[in-house]
Amino acid sequence: MLQKLEVSEVATTMVDALNGAFGRHPHKRASHAKGIFATGKFTPAATASSLGLSALFAGEHSAAVRFSIAGGNPSVSDKANAARGMSIDISLGNGEHLVLVMISAPVFFAATPETFISFLAARRVDPTTGKPDADAIALSNKVHTDSEAQRRWLAATPPSSSFATAPYFAVHTYLFDRPDGTKLAARWIFEPVAGRVGLSTEDLTGLTDNFLNDELNDRVSHGSAEWRVLLQIPELTDPLRNPTVAWPETRQTVEVGRFSVDAILPSVDGDVRDKTVFDPELLPAGISAAGDPIYDSRSAAYSVSVARRNSTTV
């Protein structure tokens, strides 16, 4: 059925699926509805310019940042079993931008828009029971095996103790133009300098549902939160166009710089003034996406969401 739909119809159907599962909340994003804005900067490693031609690697650049919790529920607990998000918009100063919209899981839950829509449709709350239908979820999980890797990751990984103790993965493959005319395929990984720290069961009982923002505010008042920016290099057997398959952790990584967050911004999140959209297709010259069915459908869905949340009729 989906092949017959235009791109914009698929985008609308995907945002409808998010709204169906999480409800429609005035002025909130359809996904990653709960979040906080910050500012940061990217500092390239001295060796990075030999890897890529992009102006990104030529000097230090400032960035707009938004941290978030996955899902379309703006009141979700920070202790929920959900991925964290970090969206960054690095401004290269020449009019170009690098936008990366990342999650703390190494994989996404859908390889195609079909799985995305069906996965969320199965999780709609049944108005008679007030809960999603367990049989529908079980059937969707059985049919859409591409959702399994992220479900396993969520079951095995406790929520991070801070936005700054989570790694962030762009999950898609990117292509970097090299000085010798070839292209380097790689995936972005932002590895927290503070280490990956998950909450223990004890921590979970002692914390409030909204501890993450205060924690980050406190942390950056004592010094910036920082990530090592890595490019993970695939081997021949690694799929380039499937964001639900992680490449083995033993793959070579190259550190191309550091990313630091130095200030949290007063929140306009969920406010009618919040017009920010992190569009994953905004890439500078010298960096492109390898493309996959999920990457290719994101930008249009984000446009539908931003139009919907800015609409005065919500």
Return residues touching ligand HEM (CB under 6 A): 14-15, 18, 29-32, 35, 66, 68, 85, 87, 101-103, 108, 113, 116, 171, 243, 277-278, 294, 297-298, 301-302, 305-306, 309
Query: Residue 156 CB, nearest distance to ligand HEM (Å)?
Result: 18
Give CA–CA dist 278/89, Å, rounded: 7
Closest residue by Cα to residue 157 from 107, 230, 211: 107
Q: 191: which residues sit within 8 A by CB, 6+ positions away?
A: 167, 227, 228, 230
Collapse the DSSP code of 122 into the 3-class scheme (helix H, G, I; strand E, B; otherwise coil) and give the result: coil
Amino acid at position 146, single letter: D
Handedness of CA 109, 115, 121, 122 (dihedral sign): negative
Q: Which is nearer to ligand HEM, 108 or 259 (CB)?
A: 108
Q: Tell me which residue has its CB nearest to ligand HEM.
A: 85
Of 31 and 54, which has the nearer Cβ to ligand HEM? 31
**Closest CB 88 distance from ligand HEM, rounded Å:** 9
| Cβ proximity to ligand HEM, 28 vs 53, nearer residue | 28
Q: Which is nearer to ligand HEM, 55 or 174 (CB)?
A: 174
Could you tell me where the beta strands, DSSP code E, fall in 223-276?
Answer: 225-232, 253-264
Q: Which is nearer to ligand HEM, 55 or 301 (CB)?
A: 301
CB of 303 to ligand HEM, least distance (A): 8
Q: How far is the CB of 135 from ligand HEM (least distance, A)?
A: 25
Place of tokens 């292209």: 183
3-class SS at 201? Answer: helix
